[in-house]
Amino acid sequence: MKHIALIIIVLMVAGLRLSAQEQLAEQQPGTLFAYPMAPDTCSTLEARCNYIITHFWDNYDISKPITDQAAFERTFRDFVDFFRYGHRNVVLSTVRDFVNKAQSNTSNLQKVGEVAERALYGTEAEYWSDEVYVAFAKALASSKKLPKDVRDHYGNQLARINAVQVGSALDFEFFDATGAKRRLSDYPAKSYVLLFIDDSADSSIGRLRLSADVALNALLDAGNAVLVCLSMNKYSADWASAAAGYANNWIVGCNANLPNQLDLRVFPCCYVLDEQRTIVNKSLSVDGLMSAVNPNY
């Protein structure tokens, strides 16, 4: 069920539009309802997806209690799958309308927020979109009917997202391996690659893969970029000793407070900044970064 929507889209692109639409219009096991079928007047992939997005929830009353949480989440994730191919304005207007309707039922609103977080923001998300997720997070952060801890949870997420919008300048403090307090702006560069790591095995593997990447090292050695590796640890002698073993062409630092300041959803996590420390890309995986710097990856 997980990828039913994408399978349907592939069929549509392949030219099997009628059978694909018929399959889409049949209720799938574990979902809440049959999905809408775009009319033949929608002749492009975007137009068909726009129609499906707009009419997706027509036969579901979000004001009534959500009784089957699992089916709701599967259905919601299929809804999100279409966002990749729809028009931005259609997606945003439909999401805002859906959130407004969900606010009529406080219990539903909290459940919608939990599902939206998993589908659009968290480590289980297959489609990350700050712009879409913010519409959900704002509603939950501002709802006075919800418990304070729930409002604070989404409010803190919003603060971190807003602090690192693509196009905004970034600067922060960290400790270097000598224990000295530094700022990112202390290191002028043509471009910056920020690698945020924790103590997990994934971070260790990601760090080692980047240290051995030929294309990335060529950029660093030519002075076209600097890589700043930032650990989510408090400064200690043990951390400094371990950091001494990192790549010698990296700037290495630590700051245990960064997860409270920046939008760091998974570890390892990569940001790319330009010469003015303006965020060009964020929340990249190690694979995503390696693909960006190495066209043959």
**Rounded-to-integer distance, Cα 245 and Cα 270, Å:** 20
pLDDT tens for each residue of 76-115: 999 999 999 999 999 999 999 999 999 999 999 999 999 9
pLDDT tens for each residue of 120-140: 998 888 888 899 999 999 999
Report the pLDDT averaged over residues 231-240: 96
pLDDT over 60 (residue 2): no
Question: What phi-psi label fits residue 259: left (phi over 0), alpha (psi between -120 and 50 degrees) or beta?
Answer: alpha
Q: For residue 236, what are the contacts with CB-CB under 8 A and spacing of at least 6?
A: none
Q: For residue 75, what are the contacts with CB-CB under 8 A and spacing of at least 6?
A: 31, 32, 33
Q: Label residue 7 by pLDDT band (50, 70, 90).
A: very low
Q: How far, rounded to the nearest angstrom, does the alpha carbon of residue 188 sit from its chain's CA centroid?
A: 28
Distances (CA, A) of 124 to 77, 130, 143, 266: 11, 15, 25, 10
Q: Label residue 61 by pLDDT band (50, 70, 90).
A: very high
The pLDDT of residue 217 is: 94
**Rounded-to-integer distance, Cα 48 and Cα 46, Å:** 5
Q: What is the pTM of this model?
A: 0.82
Q: Of the given ranges (9-13, 167-171, 230-234), which has the lowest mean pLDDT?
A: 9-13
Distances (CA, A) of 107 to 65, 96, 110, 111: 7, 18, 5, 6
